[in-house]
Amino acid sequence: MIKVNAIGDSCPIPVIKTKNAMKEMTGPDTIEVLVDNEIAVQNVTKMAQSSGGKVTSEKVAEKEYRILIAMGEACAAKDSEEVSCIPDKRGSTIVVVSSDRMGSGNDELGKVLMKGFLFAVTQLDELPKTMLFYNGGATLTTEGSDSLEDLKSLEAQGVEIMTCGTCLDYYGLKEKLAVGTVTNMYSIVETMDQATKVIRP
């Protein structure tokens, strides 16, 4: 694994450091990049994906984000690609998830659809500002959830992940929250009230 420490660096330095690490590769390898802000995560992710890398990211501490880039045999940084500092991808939309399944009918199908929905959110050109999880949706942010990788990637890119504390208590999952923070009903109502658009799967 090649390690790149870009904590404290402003754009475009994290991208340049990552590109240089790609050029030093002699075969398939993984690059670990550490940065301290969400915009750096977005910039490095965009460049790595355009170079053929498979990218995952997570927030590991306050102002510390870890990006893993898996590069294959034919992958390399593109010299002709212009290094640019993209703006914050988050809009003012919020996503409200009140169940661990999407739609009504077959429960197993509903769970598959919800997993697909959360992955699709990670692919949006403009990410939501906040994602709220309550009632059955609270189980999606806890240990064992099939969507944790997608939610951690969204959090690393600055999306606020908030889960209802009362709901976690009800399901006995308070100690198993694996992404985001615990919130309360007042905060949930306030967040929904201030949103310009609310998406409900």
Could you tell me which residues come within 8 angstroms of residue 99 by beta carbon, excluding any fewer than 6 positions away? 110, 114, 135, 136, 137
- Residue 11 designated active-site: yes
Among candidate residues 11, 75, 164, 167, the one labeled active-site is 11
- Tokens matching residue 75: 């992958």
Contacts of 118 (CB under 8 A, 6+ apart): 97, 140, 147, 150, 151
Q: Token match 């997570």: residue?
A: 58
CA distance 70 to 53: 5
Would strands 29-35 and 2-5 be described as parallel, antiparallel, or unpaired? parallel
CA distances from 153 to 70, 105, 196 (A): 15, 30, 23
DSSP letter string, 38-93: HHHHHHHHHHHHHTT-EEEEEEEETTEEEEEEEE-TT----TTSPP--PPP-B-SE
The rounded distance, in Å, linking the Cα atoms of 162 and 180 is 6
Q: Which residues are catalytically annotated?
A: 11
